Amino acid sequence: MKLTETPHYDQWKGFEGRIWKEEVNVRDFIQKNYKPYDGDESFLADPTEATNQLWASLQMLQKEERAKGGVLDCETEVVSGLTAYGPGYIDEKLKDLEKIVGLQTDKPLKRAFMPYGGVKMAVQAAENYGYTVNPELKKIFSEYMTTHNDAVFAAYTPEMRLARKTHIVTGLPDTYGRGRIVGDYRRVALYGIDYLIAAKQEDLLNCGCGNMYDEVIRQREEISAQIKALKGMKEMAAIYGYDISQPAKNAHEACQWLYFGYLAAIKTQNGAAMSVGRVSTFLDIYFQRDLAAGLITESEAQEMIDHMVMKFRMVKFARIPSYNQLFSGDPTWATLEVGGIGMDGRSMVTKTDYRFLHTLENMGPSPEPNLTVLYSSALNDNFKKYAAKISVTTSSIQYENDDVMKPVWGDDYSICCCVSATQTGKEIQFFGARANMGKALLYAFNGGFDEKHRIQCGPKMERITGEYADFNEVMAKFDFWLDWLADIYVNVLNLIHYMHDRYYYEAAEMALIDTDVRRTFATGIAGFSHVIDSLSAIKYAKVKILRDEEGITTGFETEGDFPRYGNDDDRADEIGVWLLKTFVEKIKRRHTYRNSEATTSLLTITSNVVYGQATGAMPDGRPAFASFAPGASPSYGAEQNGLLASLNSVAKIPYHWSLDGISNTQTINPDALGHSEGERVNNLVQVLDGYFDQGAHHLNVNVFGLEKLLDAQAHPEKEEYANFTIRVSGYAVKFIDLTKQQQDDVIARTCHKAL
Amino acid sequence: MSDCIGKIAKLETFGLVDGPGVRFVVFTQGCHLRCKFCHNPETWACEGGTEWTAEKLFERAWRYHNYWKDNGGVTVSGGEPLVQAEFVKEFFRLAKEKGVHTTLDTAGQPFTDEDPFYSQFCELMEYTDLVMLDLKHTDDEAHRRLTGRTNANILEMARWLSDHGKAMWIRRVLVPGISDDEEELRRCRAFIESLNTVERVEILPYHTLALGKWKELGFAYPLDGVPTPTAEEVRRAEELLGITPTEPPSKAADILSPKCC
């Protein structure tokens, strides 16, 4: 097929618009065809018998998985790939009930063998759960191939290895897939694979003018790999009996085609975050067409969404223990967005946005997909209230401010991880790790001598030797270490992403993204609140430094009171704004791989626990090796004036300096939120409106009390806790799947309750 | 008058059960009652607290107006706010200048028809949209035993509010064996029904979460051993007071006991 003339597919009958037919342009298709829905949730349908049966079957498997220590089954003989397996189903006996098909392997919840990121880790992950990978495979990937992990370590400098060891930079994607790349999976449904291949072939033809520079050579190879992946997707779908070479002709095919696109990604990559993207408004156009033609009922429409979501709930990767400590609870960040408002001011909420949220009622709470409401106080009340109701009853969803993201990313962005936005099909992220600001502050006191590992990390600098901390001296030395940290962090990431492109390229995902892609370089900060409060203590109170016989800080004694971040006190909050701006400017100054645009984030997932464990006592009173507060959240116990004061502090952080996200997690006791469900819903909507109208970026909302957490920790076997889902920094988890330490951490910062 | 100083025990930016909607709640320092079930005994002493001018305090409150929308606002609770009636009046006056809804959460103990209090009170009422009045007990003798003071002037204040068309929510802390007997609840209901402006009647089940605070302050806890009321006892009391639950409690609330931290 050649794209010299506009193709006319019968499958497009009834769809408006022209540009999206002439070029790959899903946004144009959506804008020309979607119908906003401003009614309430009363149209929604209950689960069908098939949904109930399949979900019951899947829940049995999940129970078995938990009983086996977290992994149900693990591949040891086959290397994962698009066509590595024959068809797989949730339950062989129920396979005819599955409206949307396709598994990562041949069996449900079985974890694939994915060695390209690093074979040692892939083997270790299997061994950790009692499986032995075929030694032949191990040999091939160790002796005859270079994995991403091999290549990165071959190039690391001694200083980079040290920074990694001391955890001043932690969570580097140097042993597994980097993730955070969202293919525009809708393209498979709208265009079919043949059109997409033709478009990429045209790009290949136009790539370079014949002169072979590094960039041209690399891009030509990448486009070829993408075309190969597209062909592989067709074969993969054929295994399940579908021909996806042409566009989807109805809603069922649209859901299935789209899912095949996503399945291709999770069969080939084990990135930390494998997000689905913004698909609801797109799919709604197909549902509308079929419903209007009388081809399907509401119940059938809901069934397709339920079954698709069931698949998103099943995404699994084999991980090593240290990974699980960092990202506790087996998350995959199959993030999926609903809501939002278009550039033209029309609400993008459709019935399918309701249908996705409704899966949490039809099949109960669940951490995945990571359902995200793109929020604006201008969304209509019906939708805001329905989302709030889902929060109050399931604590499974998060909110992000469409009003601050839309001006930056337009109205067709997807959340590519926990909270970070990228333009769908037009942009990717080079992401990784966080800079440990808390440790950098301690390096300022100790001249770069690591307080935990007892080694010099970075250049040996002058220490602070006075009995009391002097604000100006601390700031001058801290500035040096921030600069050093920004430098090593950016360079480690440059190296990692160079190697990832080379040895673990995301051909399937990139095949569904524009060839002329925009790249951002997303860094992150950990220990934010503790550094703010520490600097505030030094500035506004008197901080005495305690040291061991080697002169290294062991603790701090503070005399007098000082303002803390989280109380809407400008004196403390301004330190936070300064800290963010200072660090992001230091990042932006540096060269970033493939001329990507540097951004930063205040989000830590659950890694706040691990970063804290690696970091000594700080002047804010945080004891040595205790957890950090997550993301941009204020420190535990710092908030003295209630939830809204805390929210106002976080809302002061300018999104444009932290474009990769500012995550905030709050837990509200249901009794503090109102007397009845109706009151709770209305009050929560007011909190969200008030918070986001001030320009805040993100909020995780949990609605439950401390007793429930304590009981769930003591009695994880209780039926009612099997799916008890809570929001942590940027994602949701089943509480009972968290490590004991993570559970304690969550308990410690629960909750907002006025006495 | 904006430099009028108040003594403030605590601020809560997210009060959802202290009046309608989302509210900024100011807990004032100082109260003359010594209720045996008090959950804020640290606010009894008239000394202490943080000093705020009415103007600064309202500036602080106004930071949260985004969250109030059309039904929230400010509440002054305590302690006993009427101990600092002049200050509360000034705070509410500033609130009304901006059209903010004002609620006074009081037990009415300082009420008297003598000046200077009475004229301050009358002026305060001009700036008050809603009064939440705690009726601890309607029997004077029992009221004295429970709180250390008479209830005569408190009932008088309720009457005054009714006569002056001031909207009221009546609240009753339900303490088993002390303020929950049938005779008392029927008498209380009759009194409430004799008032013209009561919009809502609420039961606040007695809880023991303040025990720690009593100990910290070195006070002996007089209700040691008194149990918290069961859900059944609360329902019975609601029935006797003629309260019809507005909405059945949600699932989430069923799982949880009422207070957590």
Better-scored residue on pLDDT, A447 or B225: A447
Mean pLDDT of A344-366: 97
Mean pLDDT of A394-398: 93
The answer to whether the CB atoms of B13 and A693 lie below 8 A apart is no
- Those residues of chain A whose CB sits closer than 8 Å to some CB in chain B are 392-393, 568, 641-645, 648, 669-680, 682-683, 686-687, 689-691, 693-694, 703-708, 720, 750-755
Q: How confident is the model at residue A119 (pLDDT cuts 50, 70, 90)?
A: very high
The answer to whether the CB atoms of A689 and B11 lie below 8 A apart is no
Mean pLDDT of A313-325: 90
Per-residue pLDDT reduced to its tens digit, A613-635: 999 999 999 999 999 998 999 99
pTM value? 0.93
pLDDT, position B251: 34
pLDDT, position B245: 62
Could you give the maximum distance between any two Cα atoms of chain A, in Å? 81
Mean pLDDT of A451-473: 97
B 205-244 residues inside an 8 A Cβ radius of A? 209-210
Per-residue pLDDT reduced to its tens digit, A495-518: 999 999 999 999 999 999 999 999
- Compare CB distances from A644 to B21, B64, B259 and report the shortest one's residue: B64
Per-residue pLDDT reduced to its tens digit, B60-91: 999 999 999 888 999 999 899 999 999 999 99
A74 is catalytic: no
Better-scored residue on pLDDT, A608 or B197: B197
Within 10 Å of residue A58's Cβ, how many Cβ atoms? 20
Better-scored residue on pLDDT, A731 or A38: A38
The answer to whether the CB atoms of A392 and B15 lie below 8 A apart is no
- Sequential DSSP letters for A408-427: HHTTSEEE-SSS-EEETTTE
Q: Which of A401, A359, A313 is nearest to A733 (CA)?
A: A313
Which residues of chain B fall below pLDDT 70?
1-3, 245-261
Cα-based angle A231, A232, A235 (whole degrees, multiple of 5): 95
pLDDT, position A724: 85
pLDDT at A80 over 80: yes
Query: Exposed (0-12), middle (13-18) or buried (19+): which is B204, by Cβ within 10 Å?
Result: middle
Per-residue pLDDT reduced to its tens digit, A212-265: 999 999 999 999 999 999 999 999 999 999 999 999 999 999 999 999 999 999
Per-residue pLDDT reduced to its tens digit, A83-118: 999 999 999 999 999 999 999 999 999 999 999 999
HSE toward the beta carbon, residue A51, CA cutoff 13 A: 22
Q: For residue A24, give Cα distances in angstroms to A11, A409, A515, B118.
A: 16, 18, 11, 76
pLDDT at A705 over 50: yes
pLDDT at A642 over 50: yes
Catalytic residue among A207, A255, A416, A418: A418
Q: How confident is the model at residue A120 (pLDDT cuts 50, 70, 90)?
A: very high
With contacts defined as CB-CB under 8 Å, which chain A residues touch B210?
755
pLDDT, position A165: 95
Q: Which of A648, A723, A654, A655 is nearest to A691 (CA)?
A: A648
pLDDT at A662 over 70: yes
pLDDT, position A347: 98
The answer to whether the CB atoms of B12 and A641 lie below 8 A apart is yes
Could you give the maximum distance between any two Cα atoms of chain B, in Å? 51
pLDDT, position B115: 92
Three-state SS string over B98-111 comes to CCCEEEEEECCCCC
**Cis amide leading into A108 (omega within 30):** no
With contacts defined as CB-CB under 8 Å, which chain B residues touch A568?
13, 63
* Contact criterion met (CB below 8 Å) for B256 and A711: no
Question: How close B224 comes to chain A (CA, Å)?
Answer: 20
Within 10 Å of residue B142's Cβ, how many Cβ atoms? 16
pLDDT at A751 over 80: no
Q: Residue B80 carries which DSSP code?
A: -
pLDDT, position A2: 59
Mean pLDDT of A157-172: 95
In the predicted model, what is the mean pLDDT of chain A? Answer: 94
Q: How confident is the model at residue A268 (pLDDT cuts 50, 70, 90)?
A: very high
The answer to whether the CB atoms of B14 and A707 lie below 8 A apart is no
With contacts defined as CB-CB under 8 Å, which chain A residues touch B72?
686
Amino acid at A179: G
Question: How close A398 comes to chain B (CA, Å)?
Answer: 18
pLDDT, position A4: 65
With contacts defined as CB-CB under 8 Å, which chain B residues touch A677?
247, 249-250, 252
HSE toward the beta carbon, residue A456, CA cutoff 13 A: 7
With contacts defined as CB-CB under 8 Å, which chain B residues touch A396?
none
Mean pLDDT of A370-398: 96
pLDDT, position A48: 98
Q: B73-77 and B101-106: which strand pairing? A: parallel
Per-residue pLDDT reduced to its tens digit, A517-569: 999 999 999 999 999 999 999 999 999 999 999 999 999 999 999 999 999 99
Catalytic residue among A207, A417, A457, A751: A417
Tokens at A244, concatenated: 């996806």
Name the β-bridge partners of A427. A518
pLDDT at A30 over 50: yes
ipTM at complex level: 0.87
Question: How close A648 comes to chain B (CA, Å)?
Answer: 8
Q: In the A/B pair of chains, how many CB contacts fall below 8 A?
A: 127
Residues 6 or more apart whose CB falls under 8 angstroms from that of A457 comprise A159, A162, A163, A166, A168, A443, A448, A449, A450
Q: For residue A257, give Cα distances in angstroms to A11, A99, A237, A253, A281.
A: 13, 12, 8, 6, 16
Q: How confident is the model at residue A3 (pLDDT cuts 50, 70, 90)?
A: low
With contacts defined as CB-CB under 8 Å, which chain A residues touch B21?
682-683, 686
A207 is catalytic: no
The answer to whether the CB atoms of A690 and B68 lie below 8 A apart is yes
B 28-87 residues inside an 8 A Cβ radius of A? 39-40, 63-64, 66-69, 72
- B253 close contact with A: CB closer than 8 A: yes
The answer to whether the CB atoms of B14 and A392 lie below 8 A apart is no
Interface mutation target, options B8, B11, B13, chain A, most CBs of A under 10 Å: B13
Mean pLDDT of A153-162: 97
Q: How confident is the model at residue A490 (pLDDT cuts 50, 70, 90)?
A: very high
